[in-house]
Structure 1
Amino acid sequence: MLCAVAAVLLLGACGTQVAGRGTSQSPTGPIPWTIGEPSEVTGARLADGGRTLLLDAQVPSGAHACVRELKAVLTDPVQEDLVRVQISFYSPAGDRSSGCTKERSATARVRLPAPLGSRKVVVDNYVQFTADGARPPALRLCGKLGCTPPATGCTAASYDQALMAVDAPEHTYRDSEECDGKWLVLDFSWRTGPACGDGSAPGCSSRLGDRWFFRARKSGWVPIAEGVAGGCRDVQRREPDFPASLCKGLAPLSPSLHPSFPPVSASPSPS
């Protein structure tokens, strides 16, 4: 009878380990394994003539097993220009007592119904890769502006790149631009205070503003100076070649439109 009980217990324990969704032991007791996603997707490459996609991701790591059932799956039918993929795994990493406090790189793979070709790959709804401009079999990791950043110039898309270059706050809107294709002055503002709703709430008109000066480089608009004073003084102290035609008519920003902290100049970036 004792042997039968021991056998049942042993089989039960083994079943928990094989399933991968049970518990993991720690000094404080069992820890449930839950589904998770990688903290970062760092690379992608193709195999099997473009039909297999291999994705490198950062997953939990520790002294004991921290990841089970790592997999990549297609979340939507393959489109003409896009493939959507999600990476998932099971881990006890949500509890530090599991020991899974570090990270390591792991590779998930997914079989495509047809060669990737020129399609872009979107992983977990936010990371993009493309074969355009890449070195096969690797794919190129796209940036915040997508896989084909806008050309630097006097365009709305290019101004958006300039705002990203200075870490402008979320929901920023542009007030004015002075641009000649090689140099740029950009004034922008963002709301402060309570949520505005229809715009009638008290403090809804409250906002902060800033002014940045940029120079065009191969990488896009590069910030060279910041300042709220009128005219050219702020920028030409940093970059004497900045054309006066773009800055001499600048009015000082209103005290209600600029931040309360002092302006910080940015050092020129190498080309």
Structure 2
Amino acid sequence: MTDLVRVQVTFTSPAGDRASGCTGESTATAKVSLPEPLGDRDVIVDNYTRFTAEGAEPPALRLCGELGCTPPATGCTPASYEQALTAVDAPEHTYRNSERCDGKWLVLDFSWRTGPACDDSTDPACSARLGDRWFFRSKKSGWEPISRTSAGGCRDVRREEPAFPSSLCRSLAPLSSALHPSYPPPSASSTPGARSTATATP
């Protein structure tokens, strides 16, 4: 990509050899020379860390975050919903099933595949999935998680945030038990190694 400058930094240190006695760590500075002026291009260091001149005071560069150098504005948009999924650490390849949003508050239902990678829609293993429901409030930095639940209605979220508007949650149906199964704790009789005894009174 012509709008990027890629920098690879490689270093070696005897600290990797614990027997050498050199086990301390310190910060070091590496100077990089480019064959031509950087201009308005971004810099990527070691394939992952990205810096941009946008919004920075020259000659400094600004470190970009997980959502890129220009995160989406908080709102009722697909890009903003993706930020909400990141905020709750949703699994990779998550599907958004439904969104209820008014710009200040958000309800997000999503699910993810749990079975093998296959395309046989008749095989239950190929369509197996789990799901979740999260509630969010709008912040300058993005959607902020409030609570999660599998229940319908507003009770759970209003317990955490009484200001959450009932218009967004009043008609919510509970999540399917297939998407959000609940497992009761094992009883004493089903505990491995447990034995039941009976006594008789003569």
**Normalising TM by the smaller chain, what interval?**
0.7 to 0.9
Query: Kindly tell me: are residues 133 and 206 of structure 1, through their superposed partners in 2, closer, same or farther at Cα, counting changes over 3 Å?
Result: same
Q: Which one of the candidate residues 113, 119, 122 is aligned to 2:44?
A: 122
CA contact (8 A) 1:82 1:121 kept: yes
Give the whole-Å Cα distance in 1 for the aligned partners of 2:174 and 2:96: 16
- Gaps of at least 5 residues in structure 2 are 185-202
- Which is richer in strand? 1
Q: Which residues of 2 match residues 209-228 of structure 1 at below 5 A?
A: 209-228=131-150
> Cα offset for 1:98?
4.2
Deviation by residue 1:95-121 (Cα, 9 ceiling, x = unmatched): 443445453211112111222222111
- Work out whether 1:196 is the aligned partner of 2:103: no
- Work out whether 1:160 is the aligned partner of 2:82: yes
Provide the aligned length of Structure 1 versus Structure 2.
183
State the partner residue of 1:173.
95
Identical-pair percentage: 74
> Cα offset for 1:259?
5.6
> Cα offset for 1:220?
0.6
CA contact (8 A) 2:15 2:24 kept: no
Deviation by residue 1:107-140 (Cα, 9 ceiling, x = unmatched): 1121112222221111111110111112333211
Query: Kindly tell me: are residues 261 and 117 of structure 1, through their superposed partners in 2, closer, same or farther at Cα, counting changes over 3 Å?
Result: farther
CA contact (8 A) 1:85 1:121 kept: yes
State the partner residue of 2:12.
90
CA contact (8 A) 1:209 1:259 kept: no
TM-score (norm 1): 0.62
State the partner residue of 2:190.
none
- Work out whether 1:230 is the aligned partner of 2:149: no
Give the whole-Å Cα distance in 1 for the aligned partners of 2:80 and 2:67: 10
Q: Which residues of 2 match residues 1-271 of structure 1 at below 5 A?
A: 79=2, 81-99=3-21, 101-193=23-115, 195-199=116-120, 203-258=125-180, 260=182
RMSD, aligned α-carbons: 2.2
